[in-house]
C-alpha cells in the first residue's frame, strides 16, 4: 500500500520501476501502490512493468502537510495523479538539492534514467491537514493517515490526536507495530479501517508489511469499496509476513490447503508459568513422505511450482530457534501433517503473535468450504472457534460480508478478552 520509487529523494536508486515489480512479485503480492513524495512521475513505468508481470500497480502519492503530517493519497487513475501532482507542485516551495536530499530520478521500465524531478519533494506543502484531505477528495482519491503510529510525521505524533471531524478514509500503521495494536489504538477509537504497508524505500523492504483484501480485482475502485465496506468487498487484515507468528500460522494453513485439506486445526497455547509458547497447525491433507519432511524447512526446497524457494517453514524454524524453541513436522502420507513450533514465551527475541483475527478472516474468506478450528489457550483459560459454528450463525451471508466479518471479529475479540487475567472465565 505504500511503496517509494527512486523518484523519492529518500528512495534507493535500486527502486526503479521493474525492480519494484520484481520485488513485489517475489513477495507474492497481488498489487502494490506507488506513493512517492509529492509526485507520480514514475507511476506509468511501474504500471507498465506491473502489467507485464501480472502485478496490479495502484496510483498513489504521499503528501506532507503544513503540520508535517504525512498523508497517503490513493488515486483512481494516472490522470488523477497528474492533476494532484500539478496542484501539489504549486504549494511545494523550493527546488531539490541532490547533495542533501538525494536524487529524484525519473526512470522507465528498462531502468534507464529519463530525467530528474526538480521540485524539493522532501519538503512540506503549505496545505494544512484539512485542505490536503479536501484536495485528495477533489480528485476522487482516498486520504489515508500514513504510518499513524510513528511519532515523527505520523498524525498522532505531530498533532497529539486525530482532529475530530477530519474526513480520513483509513489509517495506515507502519511495519514498526503489529496490526492488532494499530487497530486497537487507532482504528477502532476512530471508527476507521486500518491498513498497513511497507513504506519501502529499498527492494528488500517491499512486502515487509502487507494488507489482505477481499476484492474482485486489485483496482482503486475495488479498494475504495472495501474501505467503505460496500459491495461485499472488505479489508480482511494485515501484518508483517516475515515477523508476526499469526501470519506464519496463515502460511502453514495455506500449505495444508494446497495439500487438499478439508479441515485445519490451529492451536496456540501460552503456558505463562512454564514460559512456553506452542503453536501447532494440523491438517488432513495428503501428507508428506519422510524425505520431503526432512527437507521441508530447507529454504531452497519447495513443492510449489509458483516460486523458486519456500520461505515460510525456514523462517518459522529460524524464529522458533531464535527464542530457544524448535520446529517439528509430523506427517503421515494420506492422513495429514502437524507442524509444531515452540518458543520461550518471554524470550527477548520471541516474535510477536500478531493478529489472529487476520489469520482467521483470510482463511475463511479464501477457503469458505474448509472447516477451520482455532483454539487459543493462556494458562488455565481457553477459547475455541469453529467455522461450522460461525457458518450456522450466519445463514446465507458470504464470508466477506460486513455481517460475517463483524461476527468473526466479535467472536475472536470475545475469546481474546476471556483470556485476560481480569476477564471472566474461559469457556
Partner 1 sequence: MTVAEVAARLDAATMTAIPVSRPVLGGYASDLLSDVMANAREGDVWVTLQKHVNVVAVAQLVNLAAIVLVHGRKPDPDTVARANEHGVPILVTACSAFEAVGRLWESGLRGRGAP
**CA–CA separation, 281 vs 71, rounded Å?**
39
- What is the residue-wise DSSP string for 347-387? -TTPPP---HHHHHHHHHHH-TTSEEEEEEEETTEEEEEEH
User: For the purposes of burial, counting CB atoms within 10 Å of the CB of 177, is it exposed (0-12), middle (13-18) or buried (19 or more)?
Assistant: buried
From the list 196, 167, 193, the residue with the least C-alpha distance to 179 is 196
Q: How far is the CB of 334 from partner 1 (least distance, A)?
A: 58
The smaller minimum CB distance to partner 1, of residues 148 and 268, is found at 148
The smaller minimum CB distance to partner 1, of residues 64 and 85, is found at 64
Q: Is residue 103 part of the contact set for partner 1 (CB under 8 A)?
A: no
Instruction: Choose the binding region for partner 1 from 24-32, 156-164, 389-397, 403-411 (rule: CB under 8 A).
Output: 156-164
Q: Quote the Cα angle for 287-280-214, to 5°.
A: 85
Exactly one of 152, 273, 291, 305 binds partner 1 (CB under 8 A); that residue is 152
Q: Is residue 185 part of the contact set for partner 1 (CB under 8 A)?
A: no
Q: Is residue 22 part of the contact set for partner 1 (CB under 8 A)?
A: no
Instruction: Choose the binding region for partner 1 from 36-44, 149-157, 250-258, 304-312 (rule: CB under 8 A).
Output: 149-157
Q: Is residue 156 part of the contact set for partner 1 (CB under 8 A)?
A: yes
C-alpha cell at 96: 531539490
Q: Is residue 259 part of the contact set for partner 1 (CB under 8 A)?
A: no
The smaller minimum CB distance to partner 1, of residues 151 and 369, is found at 151
Q: Is residue 181 part of the contact set for partner 1 (CB under 8 A)?
A: no
The smaller minimum CB distance to partner 1, of residues 130 and 230, is found at 130
The smaller minimum CB distance to partner 1, of residues 161 and 300, is found at 161
Q: Is residue 128 part of the contact set for partner 1 (CB under 8 A)?
A: yes
**CA–CA separation, 207 vs 202, rounded Å?**
11
**CA–CA separation, 3 vs 49, rounded Å?**
15
Exactly one of 157, 229, 232, 352 binds partner 1 (CB under 8 A); that residue is 157
The smaller minimum CB distance to partner 1, of residues 66 and 344, is found at 66
Q: Is the dihedral of CA 409, 412, 414, 416 positive or negative?
A: negative
Instruction: Choose the binding region for partner 1 from 160-168, 254-262, 267-275, 327-335 (rule: CB under 8 A).
Output: 160-168
CA dihedral of 32, 36, 39, 45, whole degrees rounded to 10:
-50
Q: Is residue 335 part of the contact set for partner 1 (CB under 8 A)?
A: no
Q: Is residue 159 part of the contact set for partner 1 (CB under 8 A)?
A: yes
Q: Is residue 161 part of the contact set for partner 1 (CB under 8 A)?
A: yes
Q: Is 222 left (phi over 0), alpha (psi -120 to 50) or beta?
A: alpha
**CA–CA separation, 281 vs 278, rounded Å?**
10
Q: Is residue 129 part of the contact set for partner 1 (CB under 8 A)?
A: yes
What Å distances lie between residue 254 and 38, 78, 243, CA to CA?
A: 39, 35, 17
The smaller minimum CB distance to partner 1, of residues 163 and 352, is found at 163
Q: Is residue 426 part of the contact set for partner 1 (CB under 8 A)?
A: no
The terminus-to-terminus CA distance of the chain in angstroms comes to 38
Residues 60-79 that bind partner 1 (CB under 8 A): 66-68
Looking up cell 489469520 gives 359
Looking up cell 466479518 gives 405
Q: How far is the CB of 66 from partner 1 (least distance, A)?
A: 8
Q: Is residue 163 part of the contact set for partner 1 (CB under 8 A)?
A: yes
By the criterion CB under 8 A, which residues form the site for partner 1? 66-68, 128-129, 151-152, 156-161, 163
Amino acid at each position: 500500500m505504500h511503496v517509494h520509487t527512486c523518484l523519492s529523494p529518500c528512495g534507493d536508486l535500486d527502486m526503479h520501476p521493474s525492480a519494484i515489480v520484481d520485488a513485489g512479485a517475489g513477495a507474492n503480492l497481488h498489487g502494490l501502490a506507488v506513493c512517492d513524495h509529492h509526485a507520480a512521475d514514475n507511476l506509468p513505468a511501474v504500471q507498465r512493468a506491473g502489467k507485464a508481470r501480472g502485478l496490479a500497480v495502484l496510483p498513489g502519492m504521499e503528501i506532507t502537510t503544513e503540520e508535517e503530517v504525512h498523508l497517503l493519497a490513493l488515486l483512481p487513475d494516472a490522470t488523477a495523479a497528474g492533476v494532484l501532482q500539478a496542484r501539489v507542485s504549486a504549494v511545494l516551495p523550493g527546488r531539490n538539492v541532490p547533495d542533501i536530499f538525494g536524487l529524484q530520478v525519473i526512470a522507465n521500465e528498462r531502468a534507464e534514467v529519463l530525467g530528474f524531478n526538480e521540485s524539493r519533494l522532501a519538503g512540506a506543502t503549505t496545505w494544512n491537514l484539512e485542505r490536503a484531505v479536501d484536495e485528495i477528495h477533489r480528485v476522487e482519491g482516498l486520504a489515508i493517515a500514513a504510518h499513524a503510529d510513528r511519532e515523527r510525521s505520523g498524525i498522532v505524533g505531530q498533532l497529539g490526536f486525530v482532529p475530530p471531524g477530519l474526513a480520513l478514509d483509513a489509517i495506515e500503521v507502519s511495519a514498526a507495530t503489529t496490526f492488532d495494536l494499530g487497530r486497537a489504538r487507532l482504528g477502532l477509537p476512530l471508527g476507521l479501517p486500518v491498513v498497513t504497508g511497507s513504506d519501502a524505500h529499498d527492494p528488500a523492504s517491499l512486502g515487509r508489511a502487507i494488507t489482505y483484501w477481499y476484492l474482485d480485482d486489485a483496482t482503486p475502485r475495488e479498494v475504495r469499496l472495501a474501505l467503505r465496506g460496500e459491495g461485499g468487498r472488505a479489508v480482511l487484515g494485515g501484518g508483517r509476513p516475515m515477523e508476526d507468528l499469526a501470519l506464519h500460522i496463515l502460511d502453514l494453513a495455506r500449505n495444508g490447503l494446497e495439500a487438499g485439506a478439508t479441515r485445519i486445526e490451529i492451536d496456540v497455547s501460552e503456558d505463562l508459568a512454564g514460559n512456553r509458547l506452542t503453536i501447532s497447525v494440523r491438517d488432513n491433507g495428503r501428507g508428506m513422505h519422510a524425505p520431503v519432511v526432512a527437507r521441508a524447512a530447507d529454504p531452497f526446497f519447495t513443492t510449489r511450482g509458483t516460486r523458486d524457494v519456500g520461505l515460510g517453514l525456514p523462517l518459522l524454524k529460524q524464529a522458533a530457534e531464535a527464542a530457544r524453541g524448535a520446529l517439528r513436522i509430523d506427517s503421515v502420507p494420506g492422513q495429514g501433517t502437524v507442524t509444531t513450533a515452540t518458543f520461550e514465551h518471554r524470550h527477548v527475541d520471541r516474535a510477536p503473535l500478531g493478529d489472529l483475527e487476520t489469520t482467521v478472516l483470510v482463511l475463511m474468506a479464501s477457503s469458505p468450504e474448509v472447516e477451520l478450528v482455532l483454539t487459543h489457550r493462556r494458562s488455565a483459560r481457553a477459547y475455541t472457534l469453529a467455522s461450522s459454528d460461525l457458518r450456522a450463525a450466519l445463514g446465507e451471508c458470504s464470508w466477506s460480508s460486513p455481517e460475517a466479518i463483524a461476527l468473526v471479529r466479535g467472536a475472536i475479540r470475545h475469546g481474546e478478552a476471556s483470556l485476560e487475567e481480569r476477564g471472566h472465565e474461559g469457556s
